[in-house]
Structure formats: structure tokens, C-alpha cells
């Protein structure tokens, strides 16, 4: 199915430039916030609740992603679009919460030993790497779906969906593995 020409922005090249810029800028900002020498004082202990909230958001995003897949397999484009929009919105909320937390709180060290330590760091490292690169295909998949460029959407989704699902699932697993070591 061809995209409807009236749904395509007149400045599609500019939109794609913005998507690429956002895909590069956000991981850089997150890295700077995580590794900056001193944290931002937000004047409250409330930020220590954010990892728990992030796990709930990631769990809900995982469920929305799975529902979106089920609905598109059933040919229900309207529900697919709705659930993928929910997943996208949850991802945006998660990102804001994640950035606020890491800007204000020191990182927690994992205290596990033995094989569980190797499993934790494998999951954490793959989660971080894939989260950093996931935004690019996710933004383009969402854009192509929104503008009804379905052939392009399907090509990008082959990469975006499994990465996004892996990142949401491993985010929750990593949270449960490190949560006993949070100081607050």
C-alpha cells in the first residue's frame, strides 16, 4: 500500500533530520548526566522513587508492545496504532523520568557475586547499548507508520520492534536484580 501523499509532510527531509538529531542527542545527554562529576540537587528525596516508577513504565510499555504486535497480526490497524502510540508515549515518559533520576542521584552498584553478577552485567550492557541505538529505528518506525508509509514502516519495524521489546524487558529484569542494593 502506498502512502497517501497528503499525509506526507512537505518538508519530510527536515523531519528526518530532526529524527536523526534527536536519536543522537538523547543518548549523548543521558551519558553526560550519568557520568557527570556532581549531580543536580533537586532538593528532595522523591527522585529515589523513580527507578520503581521506571520499572512499572517499562512493564506497561512491554505489554503495550506485545498487544500492538497481536493486533497487527490480527489485521487490526486501529488497535495496533493505539497500543504502539501508548508504548511510544510510555517510552517518552520513561526517558524523562530516567534522565531526572540520573541527573540527581548517584548510580547504585550491583552487589551480587558469582554467576549472577555476570548475568546482570551481560543484561545491563546489552540493555544500555541497545537502548542507545533503539531510538533511531523506533522514531523512524513510528514516523513511517504515522505518515502511512507502510512499506518503509515494515522494513524498519523488523529491527525496531525486537530491539525495543528487548530493552523494555531487560530494563525490568535489571531493575529487579539491582533493586535490593538501592540505598533509598
Q: What is the pLDDT of residues 102-154, one digit of tens each?
A: 888 888 888 999 999 999 999 999 999 999 899 999 999 999 999 999 999 99
- State the Cα angle at 153 between 143 and 3, rounded to 5°: 80
pTM of structure: 0.85
Place of cell 549472577: 116
List the domains of the chain with CATH numbers.
43-181 (1.20.120.80)
Q: Are 153 and 165 in contact (CB under 8 A)?
A: no
CA–CA separation, 112 and 2 (whole Å): 52
The mean per-residue pLDDT over the stretch 15-25 comes to 88
pLDDT at 47 over 80: yes
| Count of CB atoms situated within 10 Å of the CB of 155 | 15
The C-alpha cell of 154 is what?
515494515
pLDDT at 53 over 90: yes
| Count of CB atoms situated within 10 Å of the CB of 100 | 16
Amino acid at each position: 500500500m502506498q502512502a497517501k501523499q497528503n499525509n506526507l509532510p512537505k518538508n519530510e527531509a527536515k523531519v528526518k533530520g530532526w529524527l536523526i538529531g534527536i536519536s543522537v542527542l538523547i543518548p549523548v545527554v543521558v551519558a553526560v548526566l550519568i557520568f557527570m562529576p556532581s549531580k543536580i540537587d533537586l532538593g528532595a528525596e522523591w527522585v529515589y522513587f523513580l527507578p520503581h516508577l521506571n520499572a512499572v513504565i517499562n512493564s506497561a510499555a512491554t505489554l503495550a508492545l506485545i498487544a500492538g504486535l497481536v493486533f497487527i497480526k490480527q489485521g487490526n490497524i486501529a488497535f495496533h496504532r493505539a497500543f504502539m502510540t501508548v508504548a511510544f508515549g510510555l517510552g517518552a515518559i520513561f526517558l524523562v523520568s530516567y534522565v531526572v533520576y540520573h541527573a540527581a542521584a548517584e548510580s547504585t552498584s550491583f552487589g551480587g557475586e558469582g554467576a549472577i553478577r555476570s548475568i546482570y552485567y551481560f543484561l545491563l550492557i546489552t540493555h544500555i547499548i541497545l537502548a542507545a541505538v533503539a531510538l533511531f529505528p523506533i522514531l523512524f518506525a513510528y514516523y513511517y507508520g504515522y505518515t502511512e508509509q507502510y512499506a518503509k514502516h515494515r522494513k524498519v519495524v523488523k529491527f525496531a520492534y525486537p530491539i525495543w521489546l528487548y530493552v523494555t524487558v531487560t530494563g525490568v529484569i535489571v531493575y529487579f536484580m539491582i533493586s535490593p542494593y538501592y540505598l533509598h
